[in-house]
Amino acid sequence: MKNFFSNDLLPEGFKVLLPDKAHKEENISRIILDSFFKNGYLLVKTPIIEYEDNTSQNYLKSLNNDSFILIEPETKKVLVLRTDITPQVAKLACTKLKHYPRPIRLTYSGEVIRNSKNNYNSEKQFRQIGAELIGGSPKSSLQEILQIAISTLSVFKIRNITIDFSLPAISRLIDKNLNLKIKSNKLIKEALDNKDSGVIKNKKYNYINGLILLSGTIEKARKDFKKFKFPKNIEKLLKNFFSLSLGLQKKFNGLSITVDITEGKSFLEYNNFGFKIYNKSNAQPIALGGDYKSNDNEFGLGITFLVSHLVNSISYKKNLKVYVPYSLNASSKKLNKSIIVIKELFPGKNALKEAKKHDCDYMLNKNGQLKKVK
């Protein structure tokens, strides 16, 4: 018989999760989803493959450059493997779920596939779990989403976090007004890319230096903001953001907030602001999100947990395992619901040897008592 498993080489960026890691990821996923369920978020499931549809790009900035493309054999139409679940959920909210009362709270979990590596994940296949709050106000929506995120992370004993904001709206304005692709503005592009406030000497563009300096703690950014004169449209965006961040600090006492305005290009799928939540203990982003407008011009705000980063950040306590010999009935002993029961399927086996083989902590003896495996 042909061995179909002789070659287990996978394409770069794809993975197999073995039991320990798969179990850990699944448990993390359930805890996150349960947190959203308890706060009124409704679970939706979206297809992993869709027809290429340019109209759907209005819901969020398209990620089609990162997509794997397929051709449907029967129709020859182009199919796209989803790279992000957020646009699908936003589309659902103003189509099939348009009649639901606002604000509408939706949560999701599923695999996404991206034909690229990014700053948050080197993998091409990963689990995406998150939530979308659509039809609420920016201030209350952001506070609710962050409240749930902070509460969920505390379950994982991750409490030392910082939230780093950027304003993609400003990045788009600069690109639109100055056209950073043309040679004459090459210096401005280099200054922004390298975060170098000493490059631009032309007073006309001194506000660019100001934007570069708006980084670090939110307190520092507020002080630096007063030192520069910004174009009115940029000034308005900054004032709105500082007002939003002040509300967060009042709501979440002691919350660490940082900002890096020039990182806006990393969040171009969002509208006014994007954010990353970092675990200070290992400096890894563990969640990201931002705001957007749907085709119905509804305000939406979403968050996505980076599950693979959480898996690496969390110490997971394994459940106790009990070995039950073939001749015994596990139901005769009332066991804690969290205990994993390994039932022997063959008679005549050496109970102690088999219990050790299955990495069990205890074994059930004929008196119905648990005996520690040594």
Q: How many domains does the chain have?
A: 3
Question: CB-based contacts of 292: which residues, under 8 Å, 6+ apart?
Answer: 59, 60, 86, 90, 269, 270, 271, 300, 301, 302
For residue 229, is it within any domain?
A: yes
Do both 140 and 166 map to the same domain? no
Do both 149 and 30 map to the same domain? yes
Residue range(s) defining the domain that contains residue 243:
161-280
Measured CA to CA in angstroms, residue 22 lies from 12, 294, 312 at distances of 19, 34, 12
d(CA 126, CA 49): 15
d(CA 256, CA 219): 10
- What torsion, rounded to 10 degrees, do the Cα atoms 251, 257, 260, 266 define? -70
Dump pLDDT digits (tens) for 126-163: 899 999 999 999 999 999 999 999 999 999 999 999 99
Residue 171 is which amino acid?
A: S
For residue 5, is it within any domain?
A: no
Beta strands in the chain (DSSP E): 42-43, 49-51, 69-71, 78-81, 104-113, 125-134, 161-166, 215-217, 256-260, 274-279, 284-293, 299-306, 321-324, 340-343, 362-364, 370-372
d(CA 148, CA 345): 44
Per-residue DSSP letter, 185: G
Assess whether pLDDT exceeds 50 at residue 287. yes
Do both 72 and 93 map to the same domain? yes
Per-residue pLDDT, 122: 66
**Nearest alpha-carbon partner for 269 in 53, 62, 114, 89:** 62
Per-residue pLDDT, 57: 45
Q: Judge whether 130 and 108 are in contact, CB under 8 Å.
A: yes
Per-residue pLDDT, 60: 44
Question: CB-based contacts of 367: which residues, under 8 Å, 6+ apart?
Answer: none
- CATH code, domain carrying 210: 3.30.930.10
Dump pLDDT digits (tens) for 78-109: 999 999 999 999 999 999 999 999 999 999 99
Q: 293: which 2 tokens? A: 């407008």
Do both 101 and 142 map to the same domain? yes
Query: How many residues are there in the chain?
Result: 374
Question: CB-based contacts of 352: which residues, under 8 Å, 6+ apart?
Answer: 363, 373
Per-residue pLDDT, 118: 57
Residue 215, beta-bridge partner list: 260
For residue 52, is it within any domain?
A: yes
For residue 7, is it within any domain?
A: no
Do both 173 and 200 map to the same domain? yes
Do both 97 and 229 map to the same domain? no
Per-residue pLDDT, 24: 93
What DSSP string describes 232-284? HHHHHHHHHHHHHHHHHHHHSTT-EEEEEGGGGGGGTTSSS-EEEEEETTTTE
Do both 235 and 251 map to the same domain? yes
d(CA 209, CA 188): 9
d(CA 170, CA 176): 10
**Nearest alpha-carbon partner for 126 in 108, 117, 113:** 113
For the chain, the 3-state helix, strand and coil shares in percent, each to the nearest 5, are 35, 20, 40
Measured CA to CA in angstroms, residue 259 lies from 173, 245, 264, 275, 290 at distances of 18, 10, 10, 9, 14
Do both 23 and 120 map to the same domain? yes
Assess whether pLDDT exceeds 90 at residue 332. no
For residue 74, is it within any domain?
A: yes
Assess whether pLDDT exceeds 50 at residue 64. no
Counting residues of the chain whose pLDDT is more than 70, the rounded percentage is 93
Do both 152 and 230 map to the same domain? no
Per-residue pLDDT, 65: 65
